[in-house]
Amino acid sequence: MSKAAKRLGIHPMTLRQWALDGKIPFTWVGRERRFSSVDIENMKRGSSSIARPRLELLYVRVSGSSGQESSLEAQETELRATATGEVVKVVKDRGSGLKENRPGLNRVLTMVSDGSVTVVRVTHEDRLARFGVGWLKRLFAVYGVTVEVLHPKKLGGRDELLEDFISLVTTFAGRLYGMRSAQNRRRLLAESGQCDNEGRAA
């Protein structure tokens, strides 16, 4: 099964489901399913009538922890308007694109791995992640899922490098500002006698 799935460019679990649904013939050899090379090649050439349904997951994200509802809605509206399959789920996230452990991104990974979707769609590549999108695409491909970007980047070379640098500076500047704000709040509370010795609110 693993070799057949690799030749088809899909995850073995997807091929297993196709076999269970009767979409592709197979034979049992002991406890293993075996697939004909002819059937596999027919599917690769598109001569088979088997068609995988297009199940779309729409992912929208904003950097702020509050507000920006209009941006989330605008992204969702644009993605829904261009959908060509069934929209299974809209996942909304709040947080920096540099942050790996985002609740919404974790939901996307779960739905990709359990076969709930076949396409993950975003308005811009950096909505999915600031860096490492290529790795995410390769991971999704293991499960037979593709990533579609409504507005792909048109930059290249120096321009793209400059954009990445600005993204990094902007993100870290925001984090530094947040840290200073927290320190200032603790200082003000301490001066007013509302904090304990460790800087926690009393």
Q: In whole angstroms, what is the distance from residue 132 CA to residue 138 CA? A: 10
**Phi, psi (5° rounding) for residue 108?**
-60, -45
Question: What pLDDT does residue 77 have?
Answer: 96
Query: 95 near 61, Cβ under 8 Å?
Result: yes
- Do you know the residue count of the chain? 202
Question: What pLDDT does residue 193 have?
Answer: 67
**What does the pLDDT profile of the chain (202 residues) look like in tens digits?**
888 888 888 888 788 878 877 778 888 888 888 888 888 887 777 644 455 688 999 999 998 766 678 899 999 999 999 999 999 999 999 988 878 889 999 999 999 988 889 999 999 998 998 888 888 988 898 888 889 999 987 655 565 566 667 666 766 666 666 666 666 667 766 776 655 544 454 4
Q: What is the 3-state secondary structure (H, E, C) of 170-200?
A: HHHHHHHHHHHHHHHHHHHHHHCCCECCCCC
Question: What pLDDT does residue 167 have?
Answer: 61
Question: What pLDDT does residue 51 have?
Answer: 59
Question: What pLDDT does residue 73 have?
Answer: 94
Question: What pLDDT does residue 98 have?
Answer: 77
DSSP 38: H
